[in-house]
Every structure is written in structure tokens, then in C-alpha cells.
Chains A and B, each alone.
Chain A
Amino acid sequence: MSALILEARDLELRFGGVQAANGASLKVHANERIAIIGPNGAGKTTFINLCTGYLKPQAGRVFFGGSDITALSPRAITRLGVGRSFQIPQLFLENTVIENLLLALSARERTWSPFLRLDRHPKTEEMWALLDIVGLKDAGRRVVRELPEGMRKLIDIAVALALEPKLIFMDEPTSGVSSHEKFQVMDTLTRALDARATTAIFVEHDMDVVARYASRVAVWAGGRIAHEGTPDEILNHPEVRETVIGVGV
């Protein structure tokens, strides 16, 4: 097996009366495609928030590339090479799609000269290529606010990809995409990840997507991993089928 790049160790987080993380642990190796599945409220998004610095665990540690990132800010973690797309897309709504992506590229390239116009950014070509990956070249000049949620989710992923992360978290990447387009999007996306040698962890509800694109599946329940294994093992696990997929044996 290839190198370990992310390790979450016994993460604990309780807010109010909810145990959002309860000894959550996960090891991620380079080039894995890990799908996280589980019922709503199982703590899947909380886990991503803990790994990317948005929330701080009350106990436990997170390591990335061998160093402890538990206490780091989202910004610092992002700079280390962890990208992220969100369940509710986090974009600059008043700006165009192009501007959103170019800003991400500026952040990566650290091109902050006040004399450079964003719309004349030297990385414009790469920006179009990124849009192509999520199939949204035509929407480039539109303002994000006017776009439907599904498109925004894809742009959110493109923004995360623009940073060329070593590891990317995607929170329900295809939830807004119609079922017949899902596979097309996931195909190009996976190809792009392969080409960049980017490791990916994604929360997913569609078991067909999980079966087809995940190399490993982690089943979340009660703030921790209940089961872990290959898609085949997990999707045929009777308990998982009942509690997560909602199909009785």
C-alpha cells in the first residue's frame, strides 16, 4: 500500500447534547478514493470540518503528511495541500464563475499584484480547463448567484481543484446533478484526480456512485466509523444495507 497521507485519531466533539464525533478515526493513503456514507446526523460533515480546521476536536489528533494539523486554521491546512468542497457550496455569489476560479488560481500562485487585473490573469487557460472538467465551460461568464444549486456544487469542486491539493474532501459532490449526468461528471472528475495524483475523500449518498468510484468505503454512525472496507464488502454488508442504504435483506 502507498504512503499514509492523512490520519485522524480518536476525534471527539460534543456540542449541546450531540456527540458529533465520538472517537472518529480514519487512515487515508495516497491515491485512495474513500467514500463516506451514513445516515444524516451521523457526523460525516463534522468529520470533514474537524479534518480541515473549521472545527477543533475536544480530544484526538489529525495528521497530514506526518505533521499534526489539529490546531491549524483552515487557511493553514489549505496551504499544506488539503482542498475542500462543501455540502452547501461556498462561493462568491456576486462574482462570475470565471472570477471565482481565477481568484482560487491567484491564491495558489500568490499573484496579488495590484497592477494585475484579475480578468487578465496569466492562468486563464488553466481556468477554462478546470471548468471543462466539471462540464461548465458555457456558464463561465455568468454570475454565480444566478446559477442553480447543482451547478454551484460543481463549481465549488472546480475551485477546490484549482488549488491543486494533494488531498481533496468533497461533501456530496453530485447531489445536485441529475442522475444521468452523474456518471459523466464523476468520470471526468476521477480522471482529473488521477492525472493530478490527488487523493479524494467524498461523502456520498448514491450507492451506484460509491460502487463505481470508491476504492474504499467508510460507514459513519454516531460520530465514528462503524464499518470500513471495499465497496463490495460494505455494500453487501447486511447491517449497512439496512441502516444506511435502507434495503432490508
Chain B
Amino acid sequence: MARQLIIGAGLLAALIIFPLLSPWSTVILTVALCEGLAALGILVLLRAGQVSFGHGLYFAFSAYVVAFMAAARFGHEVLILVPVATAASGLLAALVGLFVVRYRAIFFGMLNLAISMVFFSLLEKLFSITGGADGKRVPRPTLAGISLERAEFELWIFYITLGLAVLAALGVARYLLSPGGKALEAIKSNETRLEYLGVSSRKVLFGAYVLSGLLAGLGGAVIALVSGHVTPELAYWVRSGEFVFIAILGGVGGVVGPFLGALMFQIIRGYAAVYAPETWHAVLGVMLLVIIFFAPNGLYGLMTGRKPAGTGQ
């Protein structure tokens, strides 16, 4: 725990200072935080041994809620848009969760994938409503009632997201240490015993699923704000796969992991985009293989040199 706090505090300090030194990084860092939030949701599910290849659904859903509300000039204010969109994602996760928590392992993953692909196809197909593959613009909303210039807006959004990410990470860390969090891990290690404790593993997983949907939704809402544009690609399965990628890259041993992973992901992708613009997928793929084979506990595992709690290796 102490190690986790030190790494977390170090990362936080770096994140607070960096945008002030190089303004161009603000958006990239915000995107990293958003992806880190979604990957944190994946981490929660991974603790239960479940992999979702469809969390792009919540990421995209929330982003589109922001886009629609912004287009309608309805509550065109960050402090309204973000909570509403996140809550909407949570609601959707609760609805989908009612079904998917009955499934495990590959079936859980597949069902999530299928549902997210249905949503993706609808976004592309319902051209007159969603703007099809070209997506929708998100005009910049006010922040606490103030209309800001781009640079200011981005900087503020970054620090707000950073604050929310810290809260989310602390909250998830706390949850994972609580009896409910341990029960979640129990789904992975022995669901039979959990049932014989009189605990409904579906209810436990349901809670975690909604939490993961909220986290992905928060990330999606913010990414819609900083990009100013949403596209169906946010819900595509490759995007969902990237969240899992980021979670594993960062390591699922601690809540700092996904954020480390997301930062690393952005850094690699940034460099690859400059030095290998036509093969950046491959660069990321190789990186992923290296992590899996040589540091299966991710960057966080490398830093702490510890086995992650609750993973069966």
C-alpha cells in the first residue's frame, strides 16, 4: 500500500507539472487519463477474472450523450454534462449488467463484445440521428458558467479530470480492500465457495460491472469534451481491446497501474506516430508481447517488484 501511494504520488506530481511545461501535452495527457479511467474499469472486472472486450460501449455511449446534449444546447455546461453522461453510462451498464453478469469467462467477453458491436453498428447506420461514421461535433461548453478559450479550457479540463481520476483511483482502491472487493476477487478464485457463503456472485459482479461502466463513462464524457468530436470508432472492438491492453500494460496489481499503462500507451503511440507513422500498430503489438512475456504484472508490477494481489499466477 505504501509503495502504491509513493508511485501514485510521484505520478500525480509529474502530471500536475508537465502540462505547465509543455502546453501541447495537455490534451494527450487528458486522453491518457480518460483511457486510464476506462482501463481502471477493466481492472475492476479483471479482479473478478472477467475480461470485457466491449467496454468501448460505455466509453462511446457517454461521449455521445455529451454530444447530443451539447448539440441540443441542453445543459451545455461541463459540470452538468460530465455527471449526466457518466450517470447515463452507469444506467446502461446496469441494464446490460442484468444480463451479462450471468456469464463467465469467454462468454462474458463475447457477450460484451457483441453488445458493443450492436451499438457501434447502430451509430454507423442511423446516419440521420448520429451522423454516421463521421460522427458528431461537440461544441465547447461553458465551465462553471464561464466560456473559456481553448487553451484555458483544455488546461482546466485536464486538472479536473486529474482530480476525478485521483478520486476514482482512491475509491476503487478502497473498494478493492473492502469485503465487497474481496468478494469480487473471490469470483475469480472460487465462485462455488462464494455461493456457499450465501453471497450472490451475480450481485457482486453486477456492482463491479456498474462501477466499471461508470468509470468508462467518465472517461468517455471527458474525451468528448476535449476532442470536440465523437465518432462510432469509440465503440469499435479494437478500442475496447485497447482498454484491456492498457490495463495489462500498466498492471492490474494496483489502481495506479491503468494510468501508468495509459500514459505509456500514449507515449509509445506518440513516438510511433512520428517515427513509424505507417506501422504504429505493429510497434504497439510488439510492446504488448514484450510486456506479457517479460513483465506479466505490467509496469506497476515492474515498479513494485511484487506479485499482484488476487491474480492467480
Contact = CB atoms under 8 A, between A and B. Distances in A.
Instruction: Answer whether A and B touch in the complex at a CB cut-off of 8 Å.
Output: yes
Interface stretch (A104-112, A127-135, A172-180): A104-112
Nearest to A84: B196
B190 interface: yes
Given A74-B195, A78-B196, A159-B197, A94 B311 contact: yes
A79 interface: yes
B138 to A, nearest CB: 33
Given A92-B190, A95-B182, A119 B177 contact: yes
Interface string B292-313: 0000000000000000011110
Contacts of B200: 75
Nearest to A74: B195
A119 B181 CA distance: 12
Interface residues of B, number: 26
B175 A114 contact: yes
Contacts, number: 93
Chain A, interface residues (CB within 8 Å), range = 35 or more
Interface string B77-110: 0000000000000000000000000000000000
A160 B196 CA distance: 8
Contacts of B193: 90-92, 159
Contact of A92 (B181, B186, B311): B186
A83, A114, A117, A160 pick with most chain B CB within 10 angstroms = A114
A163 interface: yes
Interface string A88-128: 00111111000100111011100111111111010000000
Interface in B144-188: 171, 174-175, 177-183, 185-186
B238 interface: no
B310 A90 contact: no
Nearest to B179: A106
Contacts of A45: none
A242 to B, nearest CB: 36
A224 to B, nearest CB: 25
Given A107-B197, A107-B198, A159-B197, A114 B190 contact: no
A94 B189 CA distance: 7
A227 B312 CA distance: 44
A160 B195 CA distance: 12
Given A78-B196, A95-B310, A103-B182, A90 B190 contact: yes
Contacts of A115: 174, 178
A116 B182 CA distance: 11
Interface in A175-207: none
Interface string A30-70: 00000000000000000000001010000000000000000
Given A75-B199, A107-B199, A121 B185 contact: no
Contacts of A91: 190, 193
A72 to B, nearest CB: 11
A73, A92, A113 pick with most chain B CB within 10 angstroms = A92
A128 to B, nearest CB: 17
Nearest to A117: B177
B178, B182, B197, B200 pick with most chain A CB within 10 angstroms = B197
A104 B178 CA distance: 13
A220 B196 CA distance: 24
A106 B178 CA distance: 10
A79 B198 contact: yes
Given A95-B182, A99-B182, A75 B177 contact: no
Interface of B: 171, 174-175, 177-183, 185-186, 189-190, 192-193, 195-200, 309-312
19 contacts: A52-B196, A78-B195, A84-B196, A91-B190, A92-B193, A94-B309, A94-B310, A94-B311, A95-B189, A102-B182, A103-B186, A106-B183, A112-B183, A114-B175, A114-B180, A118-B177, A118-B178, A118-B181, A159-B197
A-B pairs with lowest CB-CB distance, top 9: A106-B179, A78-B198, A90-B193, A107-B197, A79-B198, A92-B189, A114-B175, A74-B195, A114-B178
Given A73-B195, A90-B192, 5 more contacts: A54-B192, A78-B195, A79-B198, A95-B182, A106-B179
